[in-house]
Amino acid sequence: MAKRLLQLENAFFQLLKKKGRSENTLKNYRTDIECFNQYLFGLNPDFDIKNFNLTEMKDYGNYLQEKYTSDNSRRRRVQALRIFFDFLVGEEVVSGNPVREVPTSPKFLDIPRPTPFIEVKALWTHLLIKTKEKSELEKLTLLRNQLVILFIYGAGLKVSDLANLRREHIFIDKLGPRVMISHPKRDPYTIPLPPIFEEIYKNYTPLLESKKKETLLLFNHVLFNANPHKILSGGLSPRGLELVLEDLRKKLKISLTPKSLRQACIFKWMTQSKAEGLIKEWLGVAPSYSLKGYREYKKEYIYNETFLSDLYHYYNKGN
């Protein structure tokens, strides 16, 4: 029965992929379902999934309580299992979904821990100073990293949004620079970028096109993956983006992560007195998403966006 269950899970993942779920989402579902497999096969390798009922589900819930200290981790694994059993019902493998009879743990919002302003400033200064490197590929990579910071700190994008961002998603006109976000289940929308984005992007694109020609690569992604010697491909995976920031974090001995930088953007918007409904729209979250934690800590967050352009022009004067 273990083999049959794994076949059903693979069919489930294929269905999610056809529905347009991102690779990062699929990876999370696989992790959550694998937790269930470890529990089930450890209990009885020959267990028939048709016999999984409310009693077994409560036992699994107890297992999660012991295994994970985070309410959100337990909640996510139960939610993934609920969706999987909905699939099994649709495939007529089981007659009902026992997971739906068990309430999930409430979702607890973490206390926001935004990247401190002094760290954002240190990172931006580091990237600007380093653009004076002699190698064109080094300069291009540093310009790419500047854009990554502007996308996350400036527009609140997630690494999954950035992974396949393309040239046609960038707008530069009289309204200022903007980036368009498209999700399978909602209409596309644009988010404003810091004004300095336009100047950096105009320096970045011709250099990127030149290096693409050298390596005979054709792609329309905004970002790229590269080693120290050449561009390898268009696009940069969520994990690749995390590694870029991890490398910078280690070099500068700061605490910055993609999540903390995105949270700093939320505080930035609130400091700019942007309407909460607009902030939620830009974040791509449901109207019910709570910004309470950000309201409570807003006064403690130091913010000044002019430093992006001020430092850029300071380190590029005469260029």
Of 316, 318, 311, give the one whose Cα is nearest residue 124: 311
Model confidence at 319: pLDDT above 80 = no
Domain residue ranges in the chain: 2-101, 117-315
Q: How far apart are CA 261 and CA 158, in angstroms?
A: 10
Residues with Cβ < 8 Å from 251, sequence gap 6 or more? 126
> pLDDT digit string (tens) for 34-77?
998 888 888 777 788 888 888 888 888 888 888 877 777 888 88
Residue with the larger pLDDT of the pair 156 and 48:
156
CA separation (Å) from 236 to 5, 24, 265, 305?
A: 33, 13, 21, 26
CATH number of the structural domain 2-101:
1.10.150.130
Is the CATH number of domain 117-315 2.60.40.2470? no
- 258, two tokens: 């993609």
> pLDDT digit string (tens) for 250-289?
999 999 899 999 999 999 898 888 999 999 999 988 787 7
